[in-house]
Structure 1
Amino acid sequence: MLRFIAICLCLAGPAVAADFPALYNVIDVASDDTLNIRSKPSSKGEVIGVLEHNDAYVQIEAFDASGRWAQVSAGEAGMGWVFARYLQAVPGATFPDWPYLQCSGSEAAWSLRYADGDGVMYRAGYEGPGRHLASGPIVTASENTKAKAIMASDGSLHVSALIENAQCWSTMIDAFSGLEATVFVTGEQQQMMHGCCSLMAP
């Protein structure tokens, strides 16, 4: 009997708007300059990081009420804001329509990557090549159109991961992603894991 990786993608949760997270490219920044990440949505906010002039596929979590500032992770410095004038949306790169996802734990060592047409790569632990699993496209539940699923198999391992559109805070740094995952692994491995997911480049 085939065993599957099932990743359920749900739009539940009021914490993050339905159009986020989304991927953007940095534009109109000189090659010898950078785009400041500030501590608050204001030009008076402290600079806590930068985006490079050619950064692409940057995950944006929200816009402020004015629509002029976009929220982004500044890594260990936490969440910050960049001036949206210098961002351009990647067409179609919003959850759940974008078919490229990566999920991982903050402290527990696991990761899961999904790419449409290339299957699922699952890794337990910090080292090793991981396991490639054949999969089909993201599918929609028959009675809950907001629920999505990815199924993949190598015949001996299956993982079920619930992914919700909600703020998922890292336990290592003061930053969050707009997608949260709870993962159940059975078969060769037996464990339950929690982590965050993000959209990734194709």
Structure 2
Amino acid sequence: MIRALALCLLSFLPSIAGAEALPALFSVKGVAANDVLNVRAAPSAEGDLLGSLPPGATGVEVVALNPEGTWGRVNIGETAGWVSMRFLAREPGPDWISLDVPMSCYGTEPFWSLDYAPDRRNMMLRQMADENDLGLWINWHIATSGRNGQIGWNLSGPARQGFATLTAERCTDGMSDREMGLSISLFLNPDQESAAEPIGLSGCCTLSR
């Protein structure tokens, strides 16, 4: 019964997974070995220079595009800037929405982090106040009807169960000028025999390795 339900729910995903989705990882291309790719404060060659990416750099996460699609929003150090998409090539692999790519999520107040491993649909949740990591598994996931770029997860683990929503939108941690391309809301209940309180967390996710 559960397997049949999961297959039915997954059938909704192709409607949003077909198009190239951001965030995604790119490699620097077409930059001479003795040159760099400039990162600018505005999507323009006249924008203030914030830093640079080396030629041949890989795993560059683009979290958004300007309206013309000619400049991409990337992170460098503790800030975000713009690079010309002429010099970036999409790295092969599935879109994030397939859940076949690893990602890391984190949030503040309280501080927490979550590392997702796609091979087992497994994630580890760490909270500053807890001594032990919490293992969680995705039982099934489904796209939100009428809204591209959002999926919901049904989660379970040895001590908690619940759900999460993952949305493609620009997200900040409130502690730096960095920008992520995914926001997450996570809701977990303890098992019936536990005296623990429910958990509700929000934060940002990144594909950067």
TM normalised by structure 2 equals 0.70
Cα 1:154–1:66 shift into 2, 3 Å: closer
- Structure 1 gap segments, 5+ residues each: 1-10, 12-16
Q: Which residue number in structure 1 is paired with residue 60 of structure 2?
A: 58
Alignment of 1:25-104 (within 5 A): 25-77=27-79, 79-99=80-100, 100-104=102-106
Deviation at 1:60, TM superposition (A): 0.8
Structure-1 separation of matches of 2:32 and 2:92: 23
- Structure 2 gap segments, 5+ residues each: 1-12, 14-18, 191-195
Larger Rg: 2
Match of residue 196, structure 1, among 172, 185, 204: 204
- Residues 151-190 of structure 1: CA distance to partner in whole angstroms, max 9, x if unpaired? 4544213353222222222201123222111222332564
- Percent identity between matched residues is 30
Note if 1:164 corresponds to 2:167. Answer: yes
What RMSD, in angstroms, separates the aligned Cα atoms of the two structures? 3.2
Structure-1 separation of matches of 2:202 and 2:162: 13
Higher relative contact order (CA 8 A, sep 6+): 1
Q: Higher helix proportion, which one?
A: 2
Aligned length: 183
Q: Which residue number in structure 2 is paired with residue 182 of structure 1?
A: 185
Deviation at 1:69, TM superposition (A): 1.6
Cα 1:69–1:53 shift into 2, 3 Å: same
- For 1:195, the aligned partner's letter is G
Q: Higher strand proportion, which one?
A: 1
Instruction: State the secondary structure of the residue aligned to 1:40.
Output: coil
Contact kept in structure 2, 1:107 and 1:171, CA below 8 Å:
no
Contact kept in structure 1, 2:167 and 2:184, CA below 8 Å:
yes
Note if 1:173 corresponds to 2:176. Answer: yes
